[in-house]
Structure 1
Amino acid sequence: MSWQRSEASLVDTDRPAPAYFDGLDLGTTLARAARPVIDALASELTNEPVCIILTDARGIVLDRRGGDKTLIRRLDSVQLAPGFRYAESEVGTNGIGTALEVGGPILIDGAEHYTGVLRGFSCAGAPITHPVTGGLLGILDITTQAKNSNAILLSFAKLSARRIQERILEEANALDQALLTEYYAVCRHTGGSVIALGDEVFMINAHAQQRFDSTDQAALIDRTRDARGGTKPVTFLADLPSGINARLAYQPTFLGDALAGGIVQIKEQRSGPRSTGGGRIPSLPGMTGTSALWRHTTQEVLDACRRAEWLVAEGEPGSGKLTLLRAVHDYSSPGRRLAVLDADDQADLLASATSELDSGSDLIIRNAHLLSAEVIQGLVDLLQSVRDSSVAREPWVALTLLTGQSRGQDELGTQLLRFFPRTVAVPPLRHHLEDIPVLVRYLLGRAGITGVTVSGAALNQLMRLPWAGNVTHLRKVLTDVARRRRSGVVELEDLPAECHATTRRHLTRMEALERDAIVGALASHHGDKTAAASALGMSRATIYRKIRDYGIVT
């Protein structure tokens, strides 16, 4: 079966080419727990013709130890080295990739390897699973030359994998205890609303449960998800469904160098008086959204525009920064020209900006994080001249920036940003998912797609997705759906494969293709996982694991 899978994956039988990944994360739970175990094993096997190899759950080699220089050189020649992925789909039957596929320990001896260059080795791979969750973390592999093969290799690999799992459990207990201790200390000290976030731990104290209803709690949980795993303090705002504006301060908790998790303190913010005197936000041309967070953001931009206050709109790609600025401008200053220049093309940007401002136009410079030092200096001089002029009505100027890309930390960036007293954070779509139903109707209508509606089940699924590309991503998905269904009701099964998986982890191109293939096979076999696995050449254990890993909805 493994050879059939290898053949179906078009693995080169002569010279496989495993993919290489740089920037290995050696601070993971697996890597930390495995390090002392592998250190001890390596010292015991210094003079033995074996190599100890650790991989992650994708088969990417994280560590490799061995004292036999001849064996190390041979492994280098077949790229069985740190950074290379030894998945079965890339190098064929082998002790690492095949152990991942079957979900259990396996010995691949000499000629049992699919590719010729690997038949000089014997490899025993044993899965390492999380002792609490049961999730697959990686593989511990013992490799030697085929002439030295011994049945004890597999027993040794399994024993080593168990040692690593024991270390993970010990560390997990210690990390959880450290997080719990910090959680109780903060609860006692502040007396306020507190959340604790860990890899396998989530706690919300009684004060928060009493203060926030279930809907607000769900929103808080979703909002804190982005902070999970962070190693630096961060503070962010959340507009809750009840209308409460909450300030969330995340502080990481460490045990030595290991991240145990983090503590989030929640404080309610009082909204300051608005220049509009409050009230309902008007319907803006070319834009929609009714969530508390989106209305709050819109109001901030609206207030600034009405006061002719220059501002910066900062957010992720596709979040609607330019759309929001345009809509607010068209509402506040109907009939007044608004010029939009893109910093992606800086050849004539200064000349165009000067011409537009001299003619009295308002101005938006998008992607300002791309501006060169020379253009920034020219803009500083230009904006200063506008400020020094005595025109009856000063033009309105705004910038858009990608989150985290501001040049405000360097001297030139500071000189430019001093002209813009306010920065408005435009939230990513995953922070106001409740806007998706109205966005779907609006985007379909804007694209001229009539006669198509989206079912409640399909809308619910769309509201579960992380939307890495934000509104732009949603627009693309709807366009793709409408290309296949031109009338009637869009049901859950009409959504593209990427919409059937809810994982928030960024997938590689190969992983995305695999996810789509699994979704397609499940659809073709009416949800029958066994039949889908057979069609894909996978074991039942593998397809169940991948369904779980990719968050595929079945």
Structure 2
Amino acid sequence: MEHPQVHVTRSFAPRLRASWRRSERYGVPEDEVLPVFSGAVDTGSLLYECGTEVLRGLQTTLANEPISLMITDSEGLVLNRLCTDVSMTRSLDKVYLAPGFYYAESNAGTNGLGLALADRAPSLVRAGEHYCTDLRGYTCAAVPVLDPLTGTLAGSVNLTTWSEQSSELLLALAQAAAGNTAALMLARASGRIARPTPRGEVFRVYADRVDPGTLPRLSPAWTTALAETRAALAGGRVVAVVGEPGAGKTALASLAHRAVRPRDRVLNARPPAPDDVDTWLTLWTPELTKDDTCVIVSGVDALPAWAAGELARLFAEARAAGGLVPFVLTAEDAGALPAALSPLVDRVVEVPALRFRPDDVLPLAHHFARRDRGRDVTFTSAASRALMAYDWPENAKQLRRVMREAAARSDVVDTQHLPAEVFTGVGHRLSRLQALERDEIVRCLSEPGTTVVHAAARLGMGRATLYRKMAQYGLNARQLKS
């Protein structure tokens, strides 16, 4: 006999059906809401500050409307709730939709803010679309808020009203509030440039870019991870390659697969924006049925939950078809693998960050510079010391960018050809003005024959002031000299 919910969800959109199935797997009660209570809310976060300010402004335009406005963190914890309607406030208190309570799908089943966080997409859940019967008197519109500096999920904006109320404008209002919150966060976060949104690129990894014959000899930390991945793929196992952003996960997976099946095509599918998931899936999933193609799905930890579930189904079908497994996954760490995809993974291989592989910095620098310059590039001893001393927080991706800029300027790379970021040991973000000041100090100090006294005079500041600012920015004068 079919579960009663099967009949209900058949008429739902795919995202809602997937959410109901997840709610059932979580074991969420159907007849009552029992969310986890935190007892503590971080009221000092940038999200709380900016989100509350934006919602207060919106509330003034909705003064006579029975609408509750909320801000949550990325885990579904309600941080703040604004509502002038007494009956609405009392009703929401009865279902614990209040500050201090978690309202993620795993806590409250399908609901607006839980769905928005799971899928990282704007979501509207009306009346009977809620999983729990206690919530079917409401309509909820929620939109995720992304951190404008890192691109990570910061939380959500949620607007809730009675189910009999018109919901046509509810989602639009929530989208505007989420956008304004992210914009205000950016404006108050040292004026840094926002990270681009994901575009869901799908591209071929060409052999000449990862040919083992063109790569330098790297450290045992890299070669061991490569050997583990190669052995797992040769055995027909599904591999998840994990590590920090920019550490070279996709490159390692491609190298490993080519070592096993050198004639195969290798495609890399990067996570898309939430609104583009359907198109993204349609673009590359037919490749899973081809014997001569391997797909590397990068950043699966950034996928909406429903997209991860769809991928799990497609991957399971491809695996059941026999032969070598035609895909590899990458993520920042094993714990971040989506619940739907994690059971498919047979082996997890970690790529160490570049700061843990200092012996790889110079070989990779030479490799990247030669690839861009078209011929060998040499480094002065001062430039080599600077490259080796830097922590490379963005890993090989950052080194690749730095070498592209340096190699474009000279066949012999010296400190003046390197960006100021390489000489900075400061552990916090700099404002735009601070970054400009740091860059000018580095430019002056790196000029041949320039002493600290000369640089101070050119910069129009005293020597003591220059030393203080060098310490502030973590600059080492000896690294800047040949």
Q: TM-score, normalised by structure 1?
A: 0.44
Separation in 2 of the partners of 1:430 and 1:507?
Answer: 21
Distance change >3 Å, CA 394–CA 294, structure 1 → 2: closer
Q: Which residue of 2 aligns with 1:356?
A: 287
CA distance in 1, matches of 2:346, 2:458: 60
Q: Would the alpha carbon gap of residues 455 and 531 (structure 1) be closer, same or farther in structure 2, given more than 3 Å must change?
A: closer
* Aligned equivalent of 2:421, options 475, 491, 498: 498
* Alpha carbons 1:287, 1:324 under 8 Å: kept: no
Partner residue in 2 for 1:441: 366
1:321 aligns with 2:255: no
Query: Which letter maps to 1:541?
Result: A
Partners of 2:385 and 2:336 lie apart in 1 by 39
Distance 1:374 1:450 in 2: 47
- Pairing partner for 2:329 from 385, 399, 402: 399
Give the letter for the 2:465 counterpart: T
> Quick one: distance in 2 between partners of 1:455 and 1:476?
19
Q: Provide structure 1 residue ranges, at least 5 long, that are not aligned to the other structure.
A: 1-21, 25-282
1:372 equivalent in alignment to 2:304: yes
CA contact (8 A) 1:340 1:364 kept: yes
- Deviation string for 1:450-495 (max 9, x for gaps)? 253112332122000011221121122122112221x3x3233433
Pairwise CA RMSD? 2.7
The structure with the largest alpha-carbon Rg is 1
Moved more, 542-551 or 498-507: 498-507
1:532 equivalent among 433, 451, 455: 455
Note the C-alpha offset of 1:419. Answer: 0.2
Are residues 1:416 and 2:344 paired? no
Structure-2 residue corresponding to 1:73: none
- The reply to whether residue 549 of structure 1 matches residue 472 of structure 2 is yes
Distance of aligned partners of 1:415 and 1:515 in 2 relative to their CA distance in 1, 3 Å threshold: same
Aligned to 1:483: 408
What letter corresponds to residue 364 of structure 1 in structure 2? Answer: I
Aligned to 1:428: 353
CA contact (8 A) 1:525 1:531 kept: no
The 4+ residue runs of structure 1 with deviation greater than 6 A are none
Amino acid at match of 1:357: L
How far apart are 1:324 and its partner, in Å? Answer: 0.9
Equivalent-residue separation in structure 1 for 2:225 and 2:431 (angstroms)? 33
Instruction: Give the aligned partner of residue 346 of structure 1.
Output: 277
1:440-479 to structure 2, matched below 5 A, reads 440-479=365-404
Cα distance in structure 2, aligned partners of 1:317 and 1:382: 26
Bigger mean CA offset, 443-452 vs 472-481: 443-452
Structure 1 pair 519/407, CA: closer, same or farther in 2 (3 Å)? Answer: closer
Instruction: Give the alignment of 1:76-475 within 5 angstroms.
Output: 284=212, 287-344=215-272, 346-360=277-291, 361-389=293-321, 391=322, 393-403=323-333, 407-408=336-337, 413-475=338-400
SS at match of 1:418: helix
Q: Is the 8 A contact 2:416 2:443 kept in 1?
A: no
**Mapped partners of 2:418, 2:226: distance in 1:** 30
Residue pairs, 1:42-53, within 5 angstroms: none
Q: Distance in 2 between matches of 1:516 and 1:307?
A: 50
Would the alpha carbon gap of residues 337 and 495 (structure 1) be closer, same or farther in structure 2, given more than 3 Å must change? closer
Deviation, 1:354, is 3.4
Would you say the 8 A contact 1:285–1:327 is kept in 2? Answer: no
| Distance in 1 (alpha carbons) for counterparts of 2:229 and 2:416 | 39
1:126-149 C-alpha deviation (Å, 9 max, x unpaired): xxxxxxxxxxxxxxxxxxxxxxxx
Deviation of residue 334 (structure 1)?
1.2
SS in 1 for 2:383: helix
Could you report, residue by residue, the CA deviation over 1:36-79 in whole angstroms, capped at 9, with x for unpaired residues?
xxxxxxxxxxxxxxxxxxxxxxxxxxxxxxxxxxxxxxxxxxxx
Measured after TM superposition, the shift of residue 530 of structure 1 is: 3.5
Q: Take 2:279 and 2:332, find their aligned partners in 1: how far apart are those partners?
A: 22
Which sits farther off after the overlay, 341-350 or 542-551?
A: 341-350
- The structure, 1 or 2, with the larger RCO (C-alpha pairs under 8 Å, 6+ apart) is 2
Distance 1:302 1:543 in 2: 52
Work out the CA distance in 2 between the residues paired with 1:380 and 1:395.
Answer: 13
- Which residue does 2:139 correspond to in 1? none
CA distance in 2, matches of 1:325, 1:286: 16
Q: Which structure shows the higher strand fraction?
A: 1
Counterpart contact for 2:241–2:351, Cα < 8 Å: yes
- Report which of the two has the higher share of helix: 2
- 3-state SS in 2 of match to 1:347: helix
Aligned length: 267
1:514 aligned to which of 426, 437, 440: 437
TM-score by structure 2 length?
A: 0.51
Letter in 2 for 1:386: A
- The structure-2 alpha-carbon separation of the partners of 1:289 and 1:414, relative to structure 1 and needing over 3 Å to count, comes to farther
> Counterparts of 2:394 and 2:330 in 1: how far apart (Å)?
17
Gaps of 5+ in 2: 1-43, 47-210, 478-482
Residue in 2 that maps onto 1:78: none
